[in-house]
Chains A and B, each alone.
Chain A
Amino acid sequence: MTKQTDEKKTIEWAALETLLAKVEKPGRYIGGEYQAIIKEKADVRFGFAFPDQYEIGMSSLGLQILYEILNQQADIACERLFAPAPDMEEEMRRVGLPLFTLETRTKAAALDLLGFSLQYELSYTNVLNMLDLAGLPLLAVERGDEHPLILAGGPCVFNPEPVADFFDCFAIGDGEEILLDLIAAYKESRQLGEGRAELLHRLAKISGLYVPSLYEPVYLDNGRLQGHRPLVPGLPAQIKKRLVMDLDQFKHPQNPIVPFIETVHDRAVVELFRGCTRGCRFCQAGMIYRPVRERSSDGIFDLASELIDCSGYDELSLLSLATNDYSDIENLIDRLMKLGRQRQVALSLPSLRLDAFSFKVLDEIQKYKKTGLTFAPEAGTQRLRDVINKTITEEDIYGGLEQAFQLGWTTVKLYFMIGLPTEEDDDIDGIAAMAANIVKLGRQVLGKNFGRMNLTVSVSHFVPKPHTPFQWFPQNHRALLIKKIERLQEAFRTLRGGVRLQYHDPAQSHIEAILAKGGRETSAIILQAWKNGARFDSWREYFDYDRWLQAASDSGVDSDFYALRDLSTAEYLPWEIIDTGVDKEYLAAEWEKAGRAEWTPDCRQGCTACGVNRLGFGVCPSYSKPTTAMAAQTPLKEGRADV
């Protein structure tokens, strides 16, 4: 059966148009952007769903990459879906207009496959809301042969358990190859006339795919998890992540969709590399995307020049976890700056370490427009930075800032976390002390321009994440976080001279922790929260803590069982069904070292044996023999300049 865009499967433009006059930013819902791909006929119609608003989803590089790869296949149409804003949702529900794709306005329920990109936990209720708007049953067990297969990918699926009840299948790791394998299996299964159950069995055997309904969590008497039991023979005990080792094989996106309306990152983006070797103990991306895989310098340059020619963007941004770590960074930036001068394209370099080279670059690319400098010390004292393995020192920051002030920068933003393991009052005070020192420095260096200095200190609450050394750490209770904020506010009150303190909502962080670390029982809380009206939980204006607390008590699930409990390294954790390649022993050793404020060097300087090289990808590209001199090495300087 070939699905086509016939009458019943699509919604009419006229039906949509009557709503557009009533909502804000109707441009979110019209589709037809430059380089969007519209296929009237396709063998397989795949919906790429981003569970947040258009402006956020369209800023996702992953979306652009996978959209291009899937649409390059003649028989596949990949179409986009986003969460309608609350005003549009209201209109859609009022007139009974179901969720539809932007390309052919195909009803979501008429798609063959519908894949959600899960980038942050607080988007989970949006997934449910989108399924509901599509008219689809929310629970996988309630869906049948007539429904699209509901999939999920992205960093959040490294702990798929909290949303396991809603999805038919999870794709773990890089999507480039795995999605094509999945769709091929889908087509084969359909050709053979198989039902959903047979299809799921097929998928479960593909490397990197996790079919939660084919695994059963097994519990101990004390309510703790013992493990996951495969329900059919021949399934792996753990799902190994799939990675693309040679990124140059996938030169994407070359022809990205250029949105009509302004998005969060409204510019051309090229990825430098995936993974990170620094080993910050709180950072999930740094662990789950190991090992580092770089694009070639020529590949990046070619991609960048094609990208700006075909998109017409006047800004190019480089994406990676730590720009300076790229092996050929100086040469690459020199070439890109030349390209930028030729084509009048501004280069923007996030996550830049502030060394002499960076300043040379920054000074040139910011000749006219000096935007802010960003640093992420993450913690207020050297002791705590050692605990979290963040190797930036205060000298780095002050030294960098002194130079920055001399060159004319006046806007600085610092990122910190509170609620980190082993944190004491001193560490909180350290944040304010750093701000005070920077103000002092600003006054010295800027002189009469001091009035223009603009320092922002942004404080977030640490949310322990699965597959990191801090996964066992119980998140600070909300009351404690509030106390810490109050202490900070008090300390900042005495600071004068344009310092702004920003902080997140600790209630939001609490829910994020529940959703990040929960087990399968968490699905019940999410479902109930959605029923209570929760959606857009990552948006402060829509988040409602009481809804979630109510949902937790309604569903009778101990929501804090993993989030707030001191977990033992001996126990089996819900996300252990997923194998990131990094050994649990390694994480546990790092956790122990953290307790001793002991530092682990960047593994570019020597392998620290995290285990990922044994995952079967061949040699870890950043692998080098461990050296005995390792401990004596000084940490790499670090700092960030988002420009």
Chain B
Amino acid sequence: MKYRLRFSKTGRLRYISHLDLMRLFTRAFRRAGVQLRYSEGFNPHPRISCAQPLSLGAEGVSEYLDIEVVGVENNLVDRLNAELPEGLRVAQAAGLPAENASRAAAIVRWADYEVRFMRSSLNACPSAIEERVVREKWTPSEKTKALTEFLAQGEIWVDKKSKKRRQTAQRTNIRPLIDRFEILYHSENTEYHNEDTVAAACGFRLRLATGSAAHLSPILALQAYFKYLGIPLDESSLNITRLNLYDWQMRPLL
């Protein structure tokens, strides 16, 4: 039987890689007594796969995991949560009726992200964009204007490193891969409202193409925007949260 799970990966667990996560899940399934089906062949692997790997350092609020188990399982959510460490929670599990149901990885097309500049008690480093916004006393409408102009470009060309040939970067037009690109302001986020660090103030909401056919990482999208603004971007100060994943009809995967 195939199941799809929706889970979140937050807190400290954002610092473990996709492979670490797969290992972690495999072990948690074993502890919970859920028998995964294994692939055949010389090097059998458990049949378990994610809709789209989350990059190291990013949080995911609605992530999806497809599994294939021997037989039928009940109460997967509670049984798994009992075996998962803090930072990993399964919210929903659903059986995929058709044996030949497409894997989440095959149907995922879009992803929503929220990107914020990280706050730090040690080195309060205001992001360059906010520095400039403050220095030049940009109004929110001016910020929006810059963004509107950025998006109004018919084509946005960047050097995209291909996974297979790490060395060679490909010129890619990423404009079609951007569906939404919005700036988040102080007032929209009461949570950060009273912070005195400017760094906490600025963030972005993005909807970008994802999946094996066409993929744009939020970092690459922001790099392009900051390059357009002529402002350096410190990638290590970005706090990325993937909010959800959708199919081609913009339906969440579960």
The answer to whether A262 touches B15 (Cβ under 8 A) is no
A97 at the interface (CB under 8 A from B): yes
Distance between Cα atoms of A232 and B118 in the complex (Å): 57
Contact indicator per residue, chain B 95-132, by CB within 8 Å of chain A (1) or not (0): 00000000000000000000000111111000000000
Q: How far is the CB of B200 from chain A (nearest CB, A)?
A: 12
Given A31-B12, A33-B85, A260-B20, does the pair A21, B236 have CB atoms closer than 8 Å?
yes
Residue in A closest to B87 when the chains form the complex, CB atoms: A32
Given A18-B120, A27-B17, A97-B122, does the pair A369, B31 have CB atoms closer than 8 Å?
no
The answer to whether B118 touches A30 (Cβ under 8 A) is no
Distance between Cα atoms of A313 and B27 in the complex (Å): 6
Q: How far is the CB of B43 from chain A (nearest CB, A)?
A: 6
The answer to whether B16 touches A309 (Cβ under 8 A) is no
Distance between Cα atoms of A124 and B85 in the complex (Å): 34
Q: Which of B24, B41, B44, B238 has the most CB of A within 10 A?
A: B24
Residue in B closest to A18 when the chains form the complex, CB atoms: B120
The answer to whether A262 touches B19 (Cβ under 8 A) is yes
Given A22-B236, A27-B16, A310-B31, does the pair A34, B85 have CB atoms closer than 8 Å?
yes
The answer to whether B237 touches A21 (Cβ under 8 A) is yes
The answer to whether B56 touches A26 (Cβ under 8 A) is yes
The answer to whether A18 touches B27 (Cβ under 8 A) is no
* Residue numbers in A under 8 Å from B30 (CB-CB): 312-314, 343
* Residue numbers in B under 8 Å from A344 (CB-CB): 35, 38
B42 at the interface (CB under 8 A from A): yes
Given A15-B120, A260-B24, A312-B29, does the pair A30, B85 have CB atoms closer than 8 Å?
no
The answer to whether B120 touches A262 (Cβ under 8 A) is no
Q: How far is the CB of A512 from chain B (nearest CB, A)?
A: 33
The answer to whether B57 touches A26 (Cβ under 8 A) is yes
Given A20-B57, A312-B28, A314-B30, does the pair A30, B23 have CB atoms closer than 8 Å?
no
Q: How far is the CB of B76 from chain A (nearest CB, A)?
A: 16
The answer to whether A14 touches B16 (Cβ under 8 A) is no
Distance between Cα atoms of A27 and B85 in the complex (Å): 14
Q: How far is the CB of A190 from chain B (nearest CB, A)?
A: 33
Given A22-B236, A262-B19, does the pair A369, B27 have CB atoms closer than 8 Å?
no
Question: Size of chain A's interface in residues, with CB distance under 8 A?
Answer: 34
The answer to whether B43 touches A260 (Cβ under 8 A) is no
Distance between Cα atoms of A310 and B83 in the complex (Å): 10
B26 at the interface (CB under 8 A from A): yes
B78 at the interface (CB under 8 A from A): no
Q: How far is the CB of B144 from chain A (nearest CB, A)?
A: 28
Residue in B closest to A309 when the chains form the complex, CB atoms: B31
Distance between Cα atoms of A634 and B56 in the complex (Å): 57
Residue in B closest to A34 when the chains form the complex, CB atoms: B85
Given A20-B15, A262-B20, does the pair A32, B86 have CB atoms closer than 8 Å?
yes
* Residue numbers in A under 8 Å from B17 (CB-CB): 27, 261
* Residue numbers in B under 8 Å from A26 (CB-CB): 15, 56-57
Q: Which of A12, A13, A29, A314 has the most CB of B within 10 A?
A: A314
Q: Which of B23, B28, B85 contacts A262 (CB 8 A)?
A: B23
Q: Which of A31, A266, A312, A368 has the most CB of B within 10 A?
A: A312
Q: How far is the CB of A107 from chain B (nearest CB, A)?
A: 14
Contact indicator per residue, chain B 64-87, by CB within 8 Å of chain A (1) or not (0): 000000000000000000010111
A17 at the interface (CB under 8 A from B): yes
Distance between Cα atoms of A470 and B237 in the complex (Å): 56
Distance between Cα atoms of A191 and B17 in the complex (Å): 46
Interface residues of A in 1-33 (CB under 8 A from B): 12-15, 17-18, 20-22, 26-27, 29-33
* Residue numbers in B under 8 Å from A312 (CB-CB): 26-31, 83
Q: Which of B12, B26, B120, B235 contacts A30 (CB 8 A)?
A: B12
Q: Which of A32, A260, A261, A311 contacts B31 (CB 8 A)?
A: A311
Distance between Cα atoms of A513 and B28 in the complex (Å): 44
Distance between Cα atoms of A337 and B248 in the complex (Å): 48
Q: Which of B15, B23, B121, B236 contacts A15 (CB 8 A)?
A: B121
Q: How far is the CB of A90 from chain B (nearest CB, A)?
A: 14
* Residue numbers in A under 8 Å from B20 (CB-CB): 27, 260-262
Residue in B closest to A38 when the chains form the complex, CB atoms: B86
Distance between Cα atoms of A27 and B56 in the complex (Å): 9
The answer to whether B57 touches A261 (Cβ under 8 A) is no
* Residue numbers in A under 8 Å from B19 (CB-CB): 262
Distance between Cα atoms of A150 and B118 in the complex (Å): 37
Q: How far is the CB of A26 from chain B (nearest CB, A)?
A: 4
Interface residues of A in 255-280 (CB under 8 A from B): 258, 260-262, 266
Q: Which of B26, B43, B87, B122 contacts A314 (CB 8 A)?
A: B26
Residue in A closest to B239 when the chains form the complex, CB atoms: A21
Residue in A closest to B36 when the chains form the complex, CB atoms: A344
Distance between Cα atoms of A95 and B236 in the complex (Å): 15
Interface residues of A in 461-477 (CB under 8 A from B): none
Distance between Cα atoms of A32 and B10 in the complex (Å): 13
Residue in A closest to B46 when the chains form the complex, CB atoms: A314
* Residue numbers in A under 8 Å from B122 (CB-CB): 14-15, 18, 95, 97
Q: Which of B15, B83, B236 has the most CB of A within 10 A?
A: B15
Residue in A closest to B118 when the chains form the complex, CB atoms: A18
Distance between Cα atoms of A95 and B123 in the complex (Å): 8
Contact indicator per residue, chain A 47-60, by CB within 8 Å of chain B (1) or not (0): 00000000000000
* Residue numbers in A under 8 Å from B13 (CB-CB): 260
Distance between Cα atoms of A369 and B45 in the complex (Å): 12
Interface residues of B in 27-59 (CB under 8 A from A): 27-31, 35, 38, 41-44, 56-57
Q: How far is the CB of A643 from chain B (nearest CB, A)?
A: 15
Residue in B closest to A19 when the chains form the complex, CB atoms: B122
* Residue numbers in B under 8 Å from A22 (CB-CB): 236
Distance between Cα atoms of A344 and B45 in the complex (Å): 12
Q: How far is the CB of B217 from chain A (nearest CB, A)?
A: 15
The answer to whether A258 touches B12 (Cβ under 8 A) is no
Distance between Cα atoms of A29 and B14 in the complex (Å): 12
Residue in A closest to B85 when the chains form the complex, CB atoms: A34
Q: A12-B121, A33-B85, A260-B16 are in contact. List 4 more A-B contacts (CB 8 A).
A: A21-B57, A32-B12, A261-B17, A312-B83
| Across the A-B interface, the 6 shortest Cβ-Cβ residue pairs | A312-B27, A26-B15, A312-B30, A21-B236, A18-B120, A312-B31
19 A-B pairs with C-beta separation under 8 A: A20-B15, A21-B57, A21-B235, A21-B236, A21-B238, A22-B236, A26-B56, A27-B15, A27-B16, A27-B17, A27-B20, A34-B24, A34-B85, A260-B13, A266-B23, A311-B31, A312-B30, A368-B41, A368-B43
